[in-house]
Amino acid sequence: MPRYAMVIDLQRCVGCGSCSISCRNENNVSEGVYWSHKITETSGKFPNVRYHYIPTLCNHCENPPCVRGCPTQAMHKLDNGITMHDPNKCIGCRYCMINCPYGVIYFNWKNAHSAWKAENSLIKGVTSSPAEEVRKTGGKGIPYYNPERNVTLAGIRPKGVVEKCTFCDHRVNEGKLPRCVEACPADARIFGDLDNPQSQVNQLLGKFRPFRLKEAVGTEPAVFYIRDFSAAGYPRTKGGV
Amino acid sequence: MNKDKTRRKTWMEDFLGDIKMSRRSFIKASTATGAAVAVGSGLKPELKALAVAAPSGAGEMGQWLSATCQGCTSWCSKQVYVIDGRAVKVRGNPHSKVNNGAGCPRSHLGIQQVYDPDRIKTPMKRTNPKKGRSEDPKFVPISWDEALNTIADKIMELRNNNETHKYMLMRGRYSYMRDVLYDRMTKIIGSPNNISHSSLCAEAEKFGPYYTEGIWSYRQYDVLNAHYVLLWGADPLAANRQVSYYSKVWGDVVDKATIAIVEPRLSASAGKADEWLPIKPGQDGALAVAISHILLTEGLWYKPFVGDFSEGKNLFINGQMVDEEAFEEIHTNGIVKYWNIELKDKTPEWASEITGLSVDQIRRVATGFGLAAPHAISWLGGGPCMQVRGGYTAMAVHALNGIVGAVDNFGGTLKANKEYTTKFPKPDDFMDEIAKKGKKHEKIDQRGRLHIPCIKSGKPGSGVITNNAADGILNDDPYQIKVAIGYMNNFSFSAPQPERWERALSKIPFLVHITTNASEFSWFSDIVLPDTHHMFEKWGYVKAIGNGYRHVTLMQPIVKNVWDYKIDETEIPWLLAEKMAERGFDNLLRHYKEYRDPETGKEPTNEKEFALYSLKFVTQNLWDPAKYKGGDKFSGWEEFITVGVWNSNPYPFRKRWGKMKTKTGMFEFYSETLKAALEKHAEKHGATVDEVMKATNYLARGDIAFIPHYEEPYILGDEKEYPFIHVDHKSRLNREGRSANCSWYYDFKDLDPGDEIWDDVAKINPVDAEKMGIGSGDRIKLSSPTGSLICTAKLWEGVRPGTVAKCYGQGHWAYGRLASKKFGKEPRGGSSNDLIPAQYEALSGSSAYYAVTRIKIERV
């Protein structure tokens, strides 16, 4: 069985967010929920100021606190290393959210895509309404509903359960890369099998000194970062006293 | 449960003997293979042949179909995943050698646009006869027939009264089907008033390259072979041009090249650069000439391109004139004149004072740039030149490429590769006497008058000056506009000082808007027609450049239209032509019938056939093997629409050295080309070039008007009353002005460095903010001498003190339920354009968006 991981090359990453928006699209995720997200920082003082961007997602930890603390095993590990969630077993206790040190789990406090239930049109008889648009297109819940997500997990998660990135397990099962990896214009996300010594992820992990988020807490994330977002050079100097 | 699925799949794999097949996809694949899949409203299959771009793989419920994205003018080739006629997601088209399968973030918002519930389903007409910002049009739905009948009646009224010049067509977001509506229909009706939006875009950015290199167009940059990339007011990781391609390769470029960005705020690209030059707005010209000065004094100009002193000794010495005879120029014209008239005392010390940049940084960048020659790019963006006195800045910035020999060179600045689309049949035979007379009138935008030369490609009065059309309309100067059609434009939002357009549009007795959403322009319209979405519902094509190639990428109708849209550039003009023929004027219809299907020779008989045949007609050289001229070869139309994109031959480097389309054939520092154009314009008005300079608000007098040079910026507003210079910029999520009704726009707005989600912020340097007692999150009012807006304050270090940076895109008061706070009444956020005065870079006709106004900030 493979042991999936992702390497994110910060030098290639341009901070565009295509990963996060395409993920939102692929997984029918509702507003305010970010399966793929980011940490940004503006550091320094003008004019010596930089902007940094670290793409984030569920780390699919080898030692996952969310799974260990889940009372119903709704949060569980798949054989391929993916940390998966089963909404049918979820009781909405949100212990996983408390246990996760990364804040990558989200709770459905309300019905997803509630804005698409509105029946009002702005110009009577001329413009549509969100609900009418959904009906006419035949999408479930949203006009651009992706039914392929529904093969392994509820296409739209119900109120009262949590949700998070699943490394696009539904795509991986079909031999396809996670959507964020496919959508990244910079090829900054590299997916692969840690148990395959020849995989590109292993080659990169050997070539560069990777870091992982909150390394010290012992979660053993499967998301590794290499190189730097800012690849700037600077004028050679020894500094001074 | 997952394990069960896995077991079942393994069994299926053994049974079918194919690792990728599941039973469902096996069936789908066999029906989809090669055949046309008809979707949509009762359309003949051959008209809606859905050419599947990629065979459906395992687990795939839909098909990838080829498309094109016009979210910005990168014009990438794309694929859309369509399930049962419904668009689900977007990705880059791997067949394009320009964007190479890459896609920027804004492309995904197209999915929310096409299913926007606030799109117009059906034509509508205004029932409130009064027009104004505060007048609710009280739109009611009408049939296409009623709408087209009314429009045709109005056009025929002009024809019958011999007033065809009082018809106006305003062009917004176009494809290269544009001439069908914008040119042919306007001419055959008999009006000169085909008014494009181009000078709201970046015409001044073409001015620099034209009057030096002879190309009135945008450029592509060979970044992967460059050792230095110096960008001026361009943010290719966020906005224009070829965002997808530059995003793809930037990580490699930072390895091989030094990247320096000249930009008053820390842009997305500046965040991934080696040098950020946080220049004072409006002073780019000073930096450009200072860098040029250093290149010459340090002997860093590229000798195989420019030439050298015959004695070998560098006589470019600070402050000293040089004898022109001493220098043997090869492929350039006027380098010594450039030095003598402008550059000789433009030292980095002088520039440092003016630009606010350190002498060290200026020297370091100039030297690094020069040492990298000829693989050193000076990348001109809109920032430095869409300013009142930006024309010469554009020349100075682009001229740096000439000095370092990067023009047409490896690792340098390149033009568009040859492509082989053709034009539509000529309208001449269908223009009757009324039309010919009507067309002779002066255009409503007044281009070519003394103070607005609009010298596009060397011809005075040929470039559009879009924003000035509002003044023409308001003053009936040169005459009244009675009937106007605008398509996919929104001048009462997108133009500086849009309030003038509100008044101008209110004045037009009959106004039609072809649009997807009821926007600020629609608000003043009499009839609004529901348009198709370019990415999913339209036949058309556009071209784009990048990576050393040019691609021609197709738009195709690939989804089931939810409502009753019609294509702006082809279907609607055909239908109007039919209506006019019914009313005794069949010239336009007879003309359109010449657009025959190249495969069958058949004349179009309805608007759907017309839309398809016109595209096949002009692209024939690309898809018809019998007409092959170069680039990708296809077996025919079917293969062309399957792949979705044609790529040119690779770039022919250095072919234009000594053969440029300038007056001298050389790269001109002393621009004989500009001299000829200005003299022609001056002569037309019985004036001198100096008088033209005065009328166009330039300070140059004499010979300096023909060379790049520093001009003090013209910025409105007294410094004491308005202490901050306004810095406008664009968002990586803007789809021109049209993504503001997408929830993803707001949910992801902080992808623009310094901005916040679900808010419209003005970014202020903390030092400035503290002085005013303003904190992040405070509601503030920005005011300029022109107007004001309300937004939220955001303290951010990436802003030059003395400036305020605010992103364009929000501030809609119509368009949709998310775009506006209260539809038709209250804006969400504030629009930059309300602060910006209607000023121009008059030589090109461009609107000035940058370094054109100062503002003040107040807490509200």
Contact between chains at B251 and A139 (C-beta distance less than 8 A) = no
User: What mean pLDDT is predicted for residues B379-388?
Assistant: 97
Q: What is the pLDDT of residues B221-276, one digit of tens each?
A: 999 999 999 999 999 999 978 999 999 999 999 999 999 999 999 999 999 999 99
User: What mean pLDDT is predicted for residues A113-134?
Assistant: 97
Contact between chains at B117 and A132 (C-beta distance less than 8 A) = yes
How far CA A61 is from CA of A27, A92, A170, A224, in Å, comes to: 21, 21, 19, 11
Any bridge partners for residue B261, and if so which?
Answer: B231, B276
Comparing CA positions, the residue from A95, A94, A87 lying closest to residue A157 is A87
Q: How far apart are CA B860 and CA B854, in angstroms?
A: 19
Helices (H) and strands (E) in chain B, counts: 27, 34
Q: Note the ipTM here.
A: 0.98
Give chain A positions within 8 Å (CB) of B743. Answer: 31, 115
For residue B610, which phi and psi values (nearest 5 degrees)?
-60, -45
DSSP output for B622-659: HH-GGG--SSS--SSHHHHHHH-EEE-PPP-TTTTTT-
Indicate the residue type of B172: G
Contact between chains at B562 and A137 (C-beta distance less than 8 A) = yes
User: What mean pLDDT is predicted for residues B600-613?
Assistant: 98
Q: How far apart are CA B13 and CA B850, in angstroms?
A: 61
Distance (Å) from the alpha carbon of B533 to chain A's nearest alpha carbon: 15
Is the pLDDT reported for residue A37 higher than 50?
A: yes
Give chain B positions within 8 Å (CB) of A144. Answer: 86-89, 111-112, 115
Is the pLDDT reported for residue B551 higher than 90?
A: yes
Contact between chains at A126 and B19 (C-beta distance less than 8 A) = no
Q: What is the pLDDT of residues B69-97, one digit of tens each?
A: 999 999 999 999 999 999 999 999 999 99
Distance (Å) from the alpha carbon of B361 to chain A's nearest alpha carbon: 10
- Asked if residues B663 and B673 have their Cβ atoms less than 8 Å apart, the reply is yes
Q: How far apart are CA B804 and CA B762, in angstroms?
A: 7
Mutate to test the interface with B, among A4, A122, A129, A230 (most CBs of B within 10 A): A122
3-state secondary structure of B333: strand
DSSP summary character for residue B141: E
Q: Per residue in B686-724, is it b (16+ CB within 10 Å) or e — as a string?
A: eeebeebbbbbebebeeebbbbbbbbebbbbbeeeebbb
DSSP output for B371-428: HTTTSEEEEE-STTTSSTT-HHHHHHHHHHHHHTT-BTSTTSEE-PPP----PPPPSG
Look up residue B28 and give its two tokens.
Answer: 């789908």
Among all chains, which residue has been given the structure tokens 């506006």?
Answer: B820
Q: How far apart are CA A185 and CA B268, in angstroms?
A: 15
- Element (DSSP H or E) covering residue B210: helix B203-213
Contact between chains at A187 and B248 (C-beta distance less than 8 A) = yes
A78, A86, A123: residue with CB nearest B124 = A123
Mutate to test the interface with B, among A77, A126, A179, A229 (most CBs of B within 10 A): A126
Q: What is the pLDDT of residues A47-66, one digit of tens each?
A: 999 999 999 999 999 999 99
Four-residue CA torsion sign, B231, B237, B238, B242: positive
DSSP summary character for residue B344: G
Cis peptide bond prior to B241, omega within 30° of 0: yes
Q: How confident is the model at residue B57 (pLDDT cuts 50, 70, 90)?
A: confident
Any bridge partners for residue B857, and if so which?
Answer: B782
Q: What is the pLDDT of residue B53?
A: 73
Contact between chains at A46 and B767 (C-beta distance less than 8 A) = yes
Q: What is the pLDDT of residue B55?
A: 67
pTM value is: 0.94
Burial category of B303 from C-beta neighbours within 10 Å (exposed 0-12, middle 13-18, buried 19 and up): middle
- Asked if residues B158 and B144 have their Cβ atoms less than 8 Å apart, the reply is no
Q: How far apart are CA B459 and CA A196, in angstroms?
A: 65
- Asked if residues A240 and A22 have their Cβ atoms less than 8 Å apart, the reply is no
A18, A129, A147: residue with CB nearest B104 = A18
